[in-house]
Structure 1
């Protein structure tokens, strides 16, 4: 009998704790698992010997359910890149030392691309050193939805639901005044525009926003952007624009870099802000009407009050599947969601070699962006719609949601 260790890493999400709940739930019901440990702050917590015994802390089904409605990473997170073990084995020897100290036979790492890089390196080191008594599995998590081989990533559906709901609410607010106005909403996604694309879901129930959508997959041309805005302003007095934070120009540079020399305040000071703020200054100068920029920021990944029930359900399942695969002897893989049917929506879970996933980015297919590059296609909406379905019951106390704190 061996013990299981689980850790979380990278940017938090609404669903990452549901994956943790799935891992713990599966481990508790398997006779081959003794204790269940959680590492504080991801791989850093392992290196610094900061492990928490979760065996009793999460034994109650009600506690696991509360964990599923708790946003962010209950075990804490980190953004640490392991060195290459071919150059130095110091970190890897230390990690294996901790595994030996706590009799760890199974390690599940929940995270995004950087976390899968850690899984890849650690599994590779164990294979090279013939360490076959520790099984290492990745469980996906990222609101950016940019991991290869999986149809979508746990956490993305809830973030997409928040973006869609917020865009619909912004549309209601912006349309109340008679004077012309432009609102630019900046959405997370530096290398992939999946989350920005989900803003189109805000139009499903009759709201108009967003009127224009710009993803980081297509080169962003300021002059073309101004043409699009002027055309929309000729049709209606108030428009809302969704933009990816990672917009790039034709040279591949971030728009914020290319605009630094153009955008300045009245005193000649360069505007140092995000993509939406830069575009706000450009539009205010070129169009001349009221312009507002909104950066959704971390709300996209922590709004548990509007979580997608399907996202939480799938996230918990994928955590259980990852734990089960490791306990059964699997290693060096990541659990992936496979869409098996569109209507009705169905999915399955399988496991892909981590080398096919780590350090690769899944971007939005070009065919899912319209020809003009300022909106998405029906194929995108078909893909997105099943991921935001359902609402979770939420436990409230004193008028606000209750969250679980593990330490």
Structure 2
């Protein structure tokens, strides 16, 4: 490697997004990069020439290990949609002026669907204008909805947190309901894909029955059928626990959250902010059945609980970060690193690389055959797919009883 590397993070963070950053940094240094720059707040920050020399913050192997276990985005992220090239070439001219000034050879972007759109547009512009930089994407999303990769870094740790917390919520409900009926509704992230919500089923085992019902956004949600199902369950048990995706929709296409007091906020990619699904359904059950209800939102804890990260996830996130640098250094551009599952028993995976044009702006849904016929649970095939991804622990470096994170101060 003769030039420098620049890396950015984009979109919603995960518990292991910084493990990918550590993988990029370590591999770039090992392959001879003179400098490894970090964009502050992704491509949006780069446009304002906000970047740092990562060697000022990652000074030792211990720093690398702490970074791997630091949640949220160390560099800061953005949700910034680059315009199409024909709409505004000035932005692209500015970006490439900055990249050329920094002698950037490899541009690495860690993110999900929208971030791969950025890689696609920048690599296309480089080809059109004869620029030499290579652009490679590193997959990241707890939603697990990126096409062509078996799964995405971030998903395994989020699934582990969801399964663990669901089990604890169930235990709490059972222990606090003597002769009282209660319905607990857990709201889990997932706009269009139900990978996260389905992970609640992993809480089921010898010591826990798991949630009674699971509803994914892949199927239309019927409020009347839902209420009838809960009423029937309450005839047999005192505590009913339901896991719902925040993105479940009714027949007319509206999100259930919109039926309550949903936010009007829409991000740069046109995504509505979803919240309040569990609260709305809890109110419906209380009104129609009259029992005690509780709405639980795991919210940002799903993506930030690094103390409960899966070791498999941490290691794979580091691996794909390194693979992206290797691919770019060897001439690939307009590509994204993917994870290919080689074996289920024992679980083994390897990295591959695919054209980002086939990935950007697509979504991988939970297969219909992995959802039960009545649409109220996931199948064993779903559970078998997820279970290997939550294995192992990745203990934090503890200081005074609290996890130590790598922190650069005010950005």
Which deviations, in whole Å up to 9, do the C-alpha atoms of 1:217-259 show, x marking residues without a partner? 0100011101211121122110110000000112322123356
Give 1:205 shift. 4.3
Q: How does 1:3-402 map to 2 (within 5 A)?
A: 3-31=4-32, 33-131=33-131, 133-176=132-175, 177-178=177-178, 179-258=180-259, 274-402=276-404
Change (3 A) 1:259 1:66: closer
Question: Do the aligned residues in 2 keep the contact of 1:171 with 1:240 (CA within 8 Å)?
Answer: yes
Query: Which sits farther off after the overlay, 305-314 or 52-61?
Result: 52-61
Query: Which sits farther off after the overlay, 198-207 or 90-99?
Result: 198-207
1:347 is paired with a residue whose SS is strand
Change (3 A) 1:348 1:82: same
2:28 is paired with a residue whose SS is helix
Give 1:273 shift. 5.6
Give 1:393 shift. 2.0
Q: RMSD value over aligned CA atoms?
A: 1.4
1:335 is paired with a residue whose SS is strand
1:265 corresponding residue in structure 2: none
Question: Structure 2 length normalisation: TM-score?
Answer: 0.94
2:34 is paired with a residue whose SS is strand
Question: Do the aligned residues in 1 keep the contact of 2:260 with 2:276 (CA within 8 Å)?
Answer: no
Question: Do the aligned residues in 2 keep the contact of 1:16 with 1:141 (CA within 8 Å)?
Answer: yes
Give 1:56 shift. 4.3
Separation of aligned partners in 2, 1:319 and 1:212 = 37
Separation of aligned partners in 2, 1:240 and 1:304 = 26
Which deviations, in whole Å up to 9, do the C-alpha atoms of 1:302-359 show, x marking residues without a partner? 0011100000000000000001101111100000001111111111111110011101
Give 1:26 shift. 0.4
Separation of aligned partners in 2, 1:393 and 1:220 = 39
Question: Do the aligned residues in 2 keep the contact of 1:209 with 1:239 (CA within 8 Å)?
Answer: no
Change (3 A) 1:115 1:12: same
Which deviations, in whole Å up to 9, do the C-alpha atoms of 1:168-194 show, x marking residues without a partner? 101110001221000000000011110
Separation of aligned partners in 2, 1:70 and 1:34 = 25
Change (3 A) 1:104 1:382: same
Give 1:206 shift. 2.4
Separation of aligned partners in 2, 1:331 and 1:192 = 28
Question: Do the aligned residues in 1 keep the contact of 2:246 with 2:275 (CA within 8 Å)?
Answer: no
Separation of aligned partners in 2, 1:353 and 1:118 = 13
Separation of aligned partners in 2, 1:220 and 1:142 = 25
Separation of aligned partners in 2, 1:91 and 1:65 = 36
Query: Which structure 2 segments of 5+ residues have no match?
Result: 263-273
Separation of aligned partners in 1, 2:281 and 2:202 = 23
1:7 is paired with a residue whose SS is strand
Question: Do the aligned residues in 2 keep the contact of 1:209 with 1:241 (CA within 8 Å)?
Answer: no
Query: Which structure 1 segments of 5+ residues have no match?
Result: 262-271
Separation of aligned partners in 1, 2:275 and 2:282 = 10
1:34 is paired with a residue whose SS is coil
Separation of aligned partners in 2, 1:194 and 1:309 = 19
Separation of aligned partners in 1, 2:95 and 2:146 = 25
